[in-house]
Amino acid sequence: LVVHIVHTALVAGWAGSIALYELAVFYPSDPVLNPMWRYCMFIIPFMTRLGITNSWGGWSITRGTITNPEIFCDERIGKPFLDLPKIFGIHLFLSEVACFRFGALHVTGLYGPRIWVSDPYKLTRKVQSINPATLGILAGLFHLSVRPPQCLYKGLRMGNIETVLFSSIVVVFFAAFVVARTMWYGSATTPIDNERDWLKNQSLSEAWSKIPEKLAFYYYIGNNPAKGGLFRAGSMDNEDGITIGWLGHPIFKDKEGRELFVHRMPTFFKTFPVVFEFKYSVEQVGVTVEFYDGELNGVSYSDPATVKKYARRAQLGEIFELDHATLKSDGVFRSSPRGWFTFEHASFALLFFFGHIWRGSRTLFIDVFVDIDPDLDAQVEFEAFQKLRDPTTRRQVV
């Protein structure tokens, strides 16, 4: 009970503090050009989607476990007893059912957005979806129905509450490492190579004319959580300004009509410079830029200075018109709430990893740490002997 209550308090306190931070950095000037997800928020969008009560209700424990502690009593002996292997199976089964429900409803697109990944292992060179699996549910049912053998029960100290601690820490730090990686590289602002869908069987002008301005933000590097580095806090409007409008999608061509592509900055710390290598200058090649959709739809430029300006801005993805004066934006990238999420979870995952090693060694080698043989139950009794490990000095009961 204490573990559940403390866990609920930690989650509620951490989520509440991050929610206040997100409120502090959010500047709701325009729902289309300056949307909430541009700030890489994750607490407030979930709270608004689930509702305040459902947001914390999922982490709370049922009322019966607090008002009726007798459910933890063994009927055979009439005393409080924790069947730790069965409790492990219950937790594994329930958590995997919750994960499968999320996967079946959200990840597959049945209820909510479908999740796609672009060549996750750099092998298939294709876009593929994520499917939920049932392995964890089967593992939970296995641990509920099958009792561990006695040798395994004693070897892993399954009757020790510290065993629960060191094994549960594994789940915590593993999940923390996973979510840190997905939050960093799999940001909601860069979910997929969007052109594969946008430009399917369509010309550039047709494709970009049908793209809403909200989607154009997906290809703007300023939204990525990895861009600002760590310990650089503040609102994103303070870095690149308030978005006023989308200029359109730029297409660069040389004088022979061949299309030239501007590569975006790398997705790790957006302060890395991009080095250009020119065999010929822009003036020699005769590069022109033409915009599709947006405020400059159909407009083309051939002036080298203008072409270079838009080529530099195209490194950040889509080109937007930004107001730098209102908030005195300085152009310095700041870390988003998703960046803080990544840093905190990676740090605590490392800390919990060492905690797992420490607790595991204490559990498996408890006799070494306390110099007491774990099989000698009588000697572990508090003050059973006047002299430790000397059975001839047993205290007399008066």
* Statement: residue 121 has pLDDT above 70: no
Question: What CA–CA distance (Å, rounded) separates 231 from 343?
Answer: 10
Split at pLDDT 50, 70, 90, the class of 189 is very low
* Statement: residue 102 has pLDDT above 50: yes
Question: What CA–CA distance (Å, rounded) separates 92 from 389?
Answer: 40
- Report the chain's mean pLDDT, rounded to a whole number: 74
Per-residue pLDDT at 188: 42
Q: Which residue has the tokens 């369509």?
A: 202
Split at pLDDT 50, 70, 90, the class of 291 is very high
Per-residue pLDDT at 327: 81
Predicted confidence (pLDDT) per residue in 77-99, tens digit: 777 777 778 888 888 888 888 88
What number is the average pLDDT over the span 270-286? 65
Reduced to 3 states (helix: H, G, I; strand: E, B; else coil), residue 292 is strand
Split at pLDDT 50, 70, 90, the class of 349 is very high
Tell how far CA 1 is from the center of its chain: 27
How do 288-292 and 319-323 pair as beta strands? unpaired
Pair of tokens at residue 351: 């800390």
Half-sphere exposure of 190 (CA within 13 A, CB side): 24
Per-residue pLDDT at 220: 66
Per-residue pLDDT at 192: 45
Cα-Cα-Cα-Cα torsion 31, 37, 41, 44, nearest 10 degrees, comes to 50
Per-residue pLDDT at 310: 92
What number is the average pLDDT over the span 9-34? 82
Q: Which of 208-212, 219-223, 338-342 has the lowest mean pLDDT?
A: 219-223
Domains of the chain with bracketed CATH: 2-189 (no CATH), 203-224+226-323 (3.10.680.10), 365-398 (no CATH)
Give the CA angle between residues 309, 197, 270 to the nearest 5°: 40
